Amino acid sequence: MNPVLLSIILIPILEIYLFIKIGAQIGAFNTILLIFITAIIGVYYAKYEGLNTIRSGITQLVRNEMPAYEIISGAAIAFAALLLILPGFATDCLGFLLIFPITRKLFFGNLSKKFNKNKDIKKNFIDGEYEDIEENDDRKV
């Protein structure tokens, strides 16, 4: 079975199950309030982390380096913000894991290293100086 179709079916079932279990423990009003609070806090923190990622990406561009991790991180933050807006506790947990820089680096750190291979290419160059010799110069080789 297609994994996307399977996740479209299983994620709402998991969220409904968690709504019922958590609602039975803390009450329906507190459950709804908790969903709204996590969405508001998550979106504001996603905005903060997104601006930090943009700032870091601009710094990488100024240093003439490819901001591979920042590009991947920006996409992950946008996806995390979407997950936090969706009502549910499982999507909120995954969204918060993607927003925090420590766990995002664990998820996508190795992926960004594959894109930074141009740093290794720069190590193969030998830096040197040269001097143009004029035709009338006595130091001809």
The pLDDT tens digits of the residues spanning 71-95 come to 889 999 999 999 999 999 999 999 9
On whether residue 8 sits in a domain, the answer given is no
Tokens encoding 126? 């030998």
Tokens encoding 22? 């958590």
On whether residue 59 sits in a domain, the answer given is yes
CA angle 71, 73, 76 (to 5 degrees): 115
The pLDDT tens digits of the residues spanning 113-132 come to 676 665 555 556 667 787 77
- Helices 101-115 and 68-85: crossing angle in degrees, nearest 10, is 140
On whether residue 65 sits in a domain, the answer given is yes
Structure pTM? 0.74
On whether residue 93 sits in a domain, the answer given is yes
> How many domains does the chain divide into?
1
On whether residue 100 sits in a domain, the answer given is yes
Mean pLDDT of the chain: 86
The pLDDT tens digits of the residues spanning 14-56 come to 999 999 999 999 999 999 999 999 999 999 999 999 999 999 9
Q: Which domain holds residue 81?
A: 14-113
On whether residue 129 sits in a domain, the answer given is no
On whether residue 131 sits in a domain, the answer given is no
